[in-house]
Amino acid sequence: MPRVSVVVPAYGVEDYLAESLDSVLAQQGVDLEVVVVDDGSPDRSGEIADAYAARDDRVRVLHVTNGGLGAARNVGTELVTGDYLAFLDSDDVLPSEALSTLASSLVASGSDFVTGSIVRWEDGRLDEPPWMRRLHRERRTRIEAREHPEVLGDVFAWNKLYRLSFWRQQGLEWPEGVRYEDQPTTTRAYLAGTFDVISEVVYHWRIRRDGTSITQQRASLADLSDRLLTKRMALDAVQEYDDPGTSAYFVDRVMAGDLHRYFVEIPDASDEWWLLLRQGIGDLWGEHSLVHSGLLPVHRLVGWLVEQDRREDAASVVRWLASLGGAAPRAGDRLAVPPEVLDTATVDPAALTLRDHELS
């Protein structure tokens, strides 16, 4: 059986860790090694991990001073001995055949790594995000980034299985001391080797409602700073790859893809946050305006307003969109923004215009 090493960082997850470890230890069809990194957790996470190691020799535990998710993953990876490497966040779970499904693909294809689809696990429901289903709609093997640049949007660390030899030969590691560390490293992996894309769901991503998830802290200056930094790191890697088609797709579709999640914070964010957002967009996109991006029409409009330093107008549009509870209205081939929300006569027509595929 393929020997698979799974690195599990643990911090503040005493309510979830047992379920997570149970899911990985129940994996079928693989020779398993699990390295749990207790990242200086202030709760019982370390004790729970030690209890698992005491009764199952497939589990090893390393207790370290808190250094963050990237550092915990890195130190765990240094210890693994398997042929293949996977990562599991300690509040999530693996379907029972996830690792064997991923490993089987690599055995058959000879690729450097493989990525599978995921489902969001929220309020007891499992839902496959439509964009994830689209990225993984068909099986593709031994491909390169230039053949499928859209997959660069699948930046998750934990729905992938890597050949350990590839990981080490490429000197891959996770950025430390920064959130959103997944994107720079997964981007480098896509650009460095060949990979498989499979349609099977291989990961259940728990959406926590307690406000502790980093994805629930976007209005903070630190969160935005880390997001922009990791985008820059990924963009630098793509530009070094030196393929115009891949670069163009990455800038317009992948790198811009999550900006709308920050735009909703504009009305209530601090002045410092707004300045950082505007400067970050200017740094990453330069003169290549977000009106050319793959964002939805109303988000392209907000992006243009950010570029023009029109915060009050951007906030007005964001509040209006939130009040609609659905898609922004349209008039012909343009967004229909009420005059009390925005004086559209002062807006570049390109920021209001719909594309052909958006007219239906």
Share of the chain above pLDDT 90, in %: 93
Asked if residue 97 has pLDDT above 90, the reply is yes
DSSP string for 53-90: HHH-TTEEEEEE----HHHHHHHHHTT--SSEEEE--T
Given pLDDT bands bounded at 50, 70 and 90, which one contains residue 212?
low
User: Do residues 151 and 113 make contact, with C-beta atoms less than 8 angstroms apart?
Assistant: no
Given pLDDT bands bounded at 50, 70 and 90, which one contains residue 216?
low
- Mean pLDDT on 44-54: 98
Asked if residue 129 has pLDDT above 70, the reply is yes
What residues does each domain of the chain span? 3-214, 256-358
In this structure, what token pair is assigned to residue 104? Answer: 């089987």
- Evaluate if pTM is beyond 0.95: no
Tens of pLDDT, residue by residue over 78-91, are 999 999 999 999 99
Please state whether beta strands 330-331 and 334-335 pair in parallel, antiparallel, or not at all (unpaired).
Answer: antiparallel
DSSP string for 256-317: TTTHHHHHTTGGGS-HHHHHHHHHHHHHHHTTS-GGGSSS-HHHHHHHHHHHTT-HHHHHHH
Given pLDDT bands bounded at 50, 70 and 90, which one contains residue 325?
confident
Share of the chain above pLDDT 70, in %: 98
In this structure, what token pair is assigned to residue 222? Answer: 């630190």
Given pLDDT bands bounded at 50, 70 and 90, which one contains residue 214?
low
Given pLDDT bands bounded at 50, 70 and 90, which one contains residue 213?
low
Q: Where are the beta strands (DSSP E) in the chain?
A: 3-10, 31-39, 59-64, 84-87, 113-122, 125-127, 140-143, 160-163, 195-206, 330-331, 334-335
- Mean pLDDT on 132-152: 96
3-class secondary structure, 5: strand
Looking at residue 127, what is its pLDDT? 95
Mean pLDDT of the chain, nearest integer: 95
Given pLDDT bands bounded at 50, 70 and 90, which one contains residue 276?
very high
Looking at residue 277, what is its pLDDT? 98
Query: Is 3-214 assigned to CATH 1.10.287.130?
Result: no
